[in-house]
Amino acid sequence: MPQSASTPVAAASDAATAAKSRKVPRVVILGGGTVGLYTARRLRKRLGKREAAIVVVDPRPYMTYAPFLPEAAAGSIDARNVVAPHRRALKGVDVLQGKVSQINHAARTVEITPEEGDAYWITYDHLVVGLGSVARTLPIPGLAEQAIGFKNVEEAIAVRNHILNRIDVASSTWDPELRRRMLTFVFVGGGFAGIEALAELEDIARYTVRHYKQIEQDELRFVLVEGSPRILPEVSEELGGYTLEQLRKRNIEIHLSTFLSSCVDGHVVLSNKTEFDAETIVWTAGVKANPVLQQSDLPLDQMGRVTVNAKLQVIDADGVVVPDAYSAGDCAAVPDLYNPGKFCPPNAQHALREGNHLGDNLARVLRSAELTEYSHKNIGAVASLGMYKGVAQMFGKIKVRGFPAWVLHRTYHVFAMPTVNRKLRIMAGWTGSVLLRREVVSLGSLHDPRAEFRDASVPPKPRAQEPAPADPEIKAGTQKAKSAAR
């Protein structure tokens, strides 16, 4: 499958030769996230191996179900259960682990860079771009050095371990300024990701502090910074206001219409002139299309997303279909047929359905049938605000708060999670958390497991020897002084 050609021109020549000799059309799916995984599963369900060869390319060996990241960070779900292993979930599909570094659709080739070894090119007959998004950052002084994102499971667990570790360390620290710095936690971004992460982690932090006699609840300081005048723009202003009220009741400090100006060395400066020190800054202020798309010949919009029509076919600026290319999810500008002139929001609800629809359309293409347009009316939005707390808005009209909304959140997302295996494991974890309570131990050393071994491997410094006194009387006096000290 891989081509050893080192240039797009050579790869193009190999691609033409390979395409002529190939009896089964090859569909290459870039990205093993929600869109990629569901497209591959649906296409394999529709077509047998003699009808299509399917290849999924992703740098990670699993799909992360992002809506469950806040609960994984809070310890309600085991981190391994919010991911679906590709090789288990994608039966009958080839998986290549590596980063997509270039796309040359004119030559029907893609360059893949593995974690180790040289980059190589692969060829295809049909291309699906589901590369998703990455965190959208800004040139804020100190942000890259001090902040951590909340886009994948590794970051979610790192934030959890860091917060619990700061509580551990602060419990044995008596310097008031240092304790205040350790126990201040800043979240930037008031969308679903930011609010759920903040609410779940604040909930577990306060639950944890119950076990520490040295720390009072009012020492914990959680701060939300949001650039717009409201939070949760995905739901009504009424539910957004309710969420704001609930967060304030939990003594969470909220700064709306405010931006992070600087966080150099942990000194946080906000645009409203507020200043304080913090050792924890979590960045959830939006996403952008995967930047590798800039290294392709596919048409992009001003936001760097692949332009597609309602059938999920890639189109150019004039609306002309680019043959054999398709895209969906966060990296694509998918028209929202229920809201003309707008695009489908980049959330799991649409990504999952777009993936299934794209799989169906590809099966139609390979069987020379007519493609259908993707349309989905938003059925609602659900958000968890910690254990037994949540908000939900169903079908645009039904507003649910508190415990019922929390149940809706869990029910909806566990059914959206791929594979029965993961569904059962998540539900078993929830049951265990209710019966046995959540674990509050920090395993921060997981992020650098060799640190202790490296320290142990450093030879100890030789101890300085005391110079022997030349005068016998001085020597005798020194020995008497040591005896007196004992």
Q: Render pLDDT for 268-307 as a digit per residue (tens, 0 to 9).
A: 999 999 999 999 999 999 889 999 999 999 999 999 999 9
Mean pLDDT for 102-127 is 96
Band of pLDDT at residue 467, cut at 50, 70 and 90: low
Which is higher by pLDDT, 235 or 103?
Answer: 103
Q: Given a cut of 80, is residue 427 above it in pLDDT?
A: yes
Band of pLDDT at residue 3, cut at 50, 70 and 90: low
Residue % of the chain over a pLDDT of 70: 90
User: How far is 278 from 180, CA to CA, in rounded Å?
Assistant: 8
Mean pLDDT for 390-407 is 87
Residue 482: predicted pLDDT: 45
Q: What's the whole-number average pLDDT of the chain?
A: 89
Residue 419: predicted pLDDT: 87
> What DSSP letter does each residue of 270-282 carry, written as one string?
ETTS-EEE-SEEE
153-170 vs 192-209: helix crossing angle, rounded to 10 = 30
Residue 55: predicted pLDDT: 97
User: How far is 244 from 235, CA to CA, in rounded Å?
Assistant: 12
Tell me the per-residue pLDDT of 159-170, one tens digit each, with 9 for 90 and over: 999 999 999 999
Band of pLDDT at residue 474, cut at 50, 70 and 90: very low
| Matching residue, tokens 């952008």 | 288
User: How far is 290 from 311, CA to CA, in rounded Å?
Assistant: 21
Q: Of 67, 68, 134, 76, which Cα lies nearest the Cα of 351?
A: 67
Range in 70-79, 376-385, 400-409 with the lowest mean pLDDT: 376-385
Distance of CA 26 to the CA centre of its chain: 30
Residue 486: predicted pLDDT: 44
Band of pLDDT at residue 62, cut at 50, 70 and 90: very high
For residues 222 and 253, is the Cβ–Cβ distance under 8 A?
A: yes
Mean pLDDT for 41-59 is 95
Contacts of 346 (CB under 8 A, 6+ apart): 133, 287, 329, 330
For the whole model, what pTM was predicted? 0.86
Residue 2: predicted pLDDT: 56
